[in-house]
Amino acid sequence: MTAPIVWAVTAVAVLGALALATVTDPLAAVRDPVAARDAIALMQAGEHATYVAEYAYTRADLHGRKYTSTEYDVRGPKGTLTRNGTSLAIDWNGQGSDCTMASAKPSCLARPVASGLPESEVLRVAVDAGIYDVTRAPDTTIAGEPARCFVIRAHRLDKQLPNDFGSESDMCFDARGVPLRFRRYTDELNGLEALGVGPFDRAALAPVIAGFDRTAPQVGR
């Protein structure tokens, strides 16, 4: 995640080519249409929910190198924000900005609003094309919230979307579809684990826009 995650149109554009690729390395995956339907439905619900979520972000490679940080993902009535360390990505009220903090001085660069297909649609097309299989994983509790969990696996090693679901992804959602866990495996692990999920309000937004109050748009209004 970069949580909320927007999936690029190019991800779906390559699905047709992947479907025709030469099969060489089958993965032992089980196809569960009910699990796929449930996962996609929860994703769709979460894409329309409003919330402020704090995550523990982890990136680890095969050599044991590991990077951790705290990430905030916001979905509000007018758009999304993602804060990781000193970087803040804003897509709000039809305007996009990438903000950074250098020597305690914030700056924002305007850009077009991010566009692309939502995560749920990318998965739906990938499952329909036979590129990925979805199965249920044991339910659990994350950040004090009951979580429904799923495993998304590439059906073949030579057919996968490395920037979307990789060879395998683990995903868990609360009852509203808010992502509580996302772990994508490729040649490295990228993972988000919820530390807390709250309502979209000014108090919850405070740590997300801290330091960018004057340079970032007034997203709380």
In a domain, 214, yes or no: no
Domain interval for residue 51: 6-209
In a domain, 70, yes or no: yes
117: domain CATH number is: 2.50.20.10
At residue 220, the pLDDT reads 53
How many distinct structural domains can be found in the chain? 1
One pLDDT digit (tens) per residue for the chain, 221 residues: 544 443 343 444 444 444 433 333 444 457 899 999 999 999 999 999 999 999 999 999 988 899 999 999 999 998 999 999 899 999 988 889 999 998 888 999 999 988 888 999 999 999 999 999 999 999 999 999 999 999 999 988 788 887 789 999 999 999 999 999 999 999 899 999 999 999 998 888 888 988 887 766 556 55
Indicate whether this model's pTM tops 0.85: no
In a domain, 144, yes or no: yes
For the residues of 38-61, what is the DSSP string, one character each?
Answer: HHHHHHHHHHT--EEEEEEEEEEE
Tokens for 51?
Answer: 């919330």
At residue 4, the pLDDT reads 40
For the residues of 112-132, what is the DSSP string, one character each?
Answer: PPP--EEHHHHHHHHHHTTSE
